[in-house]
Amino acid sequence: MSYRVAVIKGDGIGPEIVTEAMKVIDKAVSKKGIAFEYTQVLMGGASIDAYGKPLTDETLEICKNSDAVLMGSIGGNTTTSPWYQLPANLRPEAGLLALRKGLNLFANMRPAYLYEELKDACPLKEEIIKDGFDMVIMRELTGGLYFGERKTVEENGVWKAYDSLTYDENEIRRIAIKAFDIAMKRSKKVISVDKANVLDSSRLWRKVVEEVAKDYPEVTLEHMLVDNCAMQLVYDPGQFDVILTENMFGDILSDEASMITGSIGMLSSASMAEGKFGLYEPSHGSAPDIAGQNIANPIATILSAAMMLRYSFDLDEEADAIETAVKQVLAEGYRTVDIMAEGCTKVGTVEMGDLIAARL
Ligand code: NAD
């Protein structure tokens, strides 16, 4: 069995952290005789340097013809890098937006998990953290307020701006199905977040989510208003398993959930299309300030690769093994500099990858 994975190593620390993730995947799947066929392509700053634009048609085509895409972060120092002297449509991030659009990635998945060993980095009090938390935020990525019609007009000498929040039932249904599918692989609980006491789009959201729920009798569904959810995340984060929500609410809540884990180098993410196809990348940026120094934390990318195994290839056992190996290495006291604590052993990017691979 072999899977085709397009690999975008990216800019800054991207190549260092993706190399470690590939090392770990290969080790995790080797026992089953599964092989990953990697095709490396350029996107972002590296593509600008090579081809004069952040995403070429060839790169998009290779990604489309793959089973999944594994990516490091892209972009450079936004103040000093010459990439940011270019017009907006030729800058690194334009490549990422075009790639997401070209691959029809409508569902963004961001887990927020608190490692026992990294509890000190969590800004919440011990009595709130209790036994920790382990949630996934499923955010709709291609509809809603960020993609609705907008205009700014002058009416009777007064400036007025409009943004419209639109969802149709198909857009809601497909993200809801993703959330319920993911819940089936986890603790089987979905909390759908909306503002149904005010917004029509939220009332339709609630109705469609309830319809989808009927096909998943094992999954518990609750609805929660977004303002309450923002409070509950810092009051009782342990109650959440899968949070399903629309684009703007998800944008805000996923950052809040990331913040309470306290460690940017640990946060994985995936953007999914219809079926099993997904693009997997760390939540953090390309950290140009520490690039090429072998000090970046590769764990977010390694955990993103584990998500790829679980959600694109149904290799749940191998994904579990990677996550367990990460926990083990942390429990043994190994830390990259960003999560370093007293009494722990400081290791570099390559060493952290080696340690995790060795425990598989
Ligand atoms: P950043 O996430 O790259 O860095 C913020 C801080 O966190 C820096 O101090 C950095 O050293 C540190 N950091 C980030 N990842 C780390 C890791 N794995 N290990 C250790 N430390 C880590 O955010 P930024 O500095 O605002 O952005 C840098 C570039 O990344 C910009 O060009 C930005 O546009 C881009 N970016 C890309 C993506 C993406 O590719 N999806 C996402 C966010 C930002």
Q: Do residues 88 and 206 share a domain?
A: no
Output the average pLDDT for the chain.
95
In this predicted structure, what is the pLDDT of residue 121?
85
Alpha-carbon 120 to chain mean position: 23
pLDDT interval class at 208 (50, 70, 90): very high
The answer to the question of residue 252 being in a domain is: yes
Cα of 264 from ligand 1 centre, angstroms: 9
What is the per-residue pLDDT for 35?
Answer: 86
The stretch 29-33 carries a mean pLDDT of 87
Say whether pLDDT at 118 is over 80.
yes
DSSP, residue by residue, 320-349: HHHHHHHHHHHHTTEE-GGG--TTPEE--H
Q: Which domain holds residue 157?
A: 123-260
The answer as to whether 3 is a domain residue is: yes
Alpha helices in 223-335 (DSSP H): 226-235, 247-261, 299-311, 316-331
Measure 230 CA to ligand 1 centroid, in angstroms: 24
CATH number, domain at 281? 3.40.718.10
In tens, the pLDDT along 213-262 reads: 999 999 999 999 999 999 999 999 999 999 999 999 999 999 999 889 98
16 and 81 co-located in one domain: yes
The residues that are catalytic are: 146, 195, 227, 251, 255
Instruction: Enter the tokens of residue 120.
Output: 């000190």
What global pTM score does this model have? 0.92
Q: Would the CB of 78 count as within 6 Å of ligand 1? A: yes
pLDDT for 33:
86
- pLDDT tens, residue by residue, 278-288: 999 999 999 99
Q: List, for residues 129-174, the tens digit of each pLDDT value.
A: 999 999 999 999 999 998 889 899 999 999 999 999 999 999 999 9
Output the DSSP codes for 197-239.
TT-HHHHHHHHHHHHHHTT-TTSEEEEEEHHHHHHHHHH-GGG
Q: Which of 290, 278, 258 is nearest to 16 (CA)?
A: 290
Whether 90 and 107 map to the same domain: the answer is yes
Of the three residues 209, 241, 260, the one that is the final residue of a domain is 260
Residue 175's pLDDT is what?
Answer: 97
Query: Rounded mean pLDDT of 201-212?
Result: 98
Q: What is the pLDDT of residue 287?
A: 96
Final residue of a structural domain among 260, 286, 320: 260
CB-count exposure of residue 125 (10 Å: 0-12, 13-18, 19+): exposed
Ligand 1 center–CA 287 separation, angstroms: 4
Q: Are residues 240 and 209 in the same domain?
A: yes
Domain boundary among 206, 237, 260: 260
Under the banding of pLDDT at 50, 70 and 90, the label for residue 304 is: very high
In a domain, 359, yes or no: yes
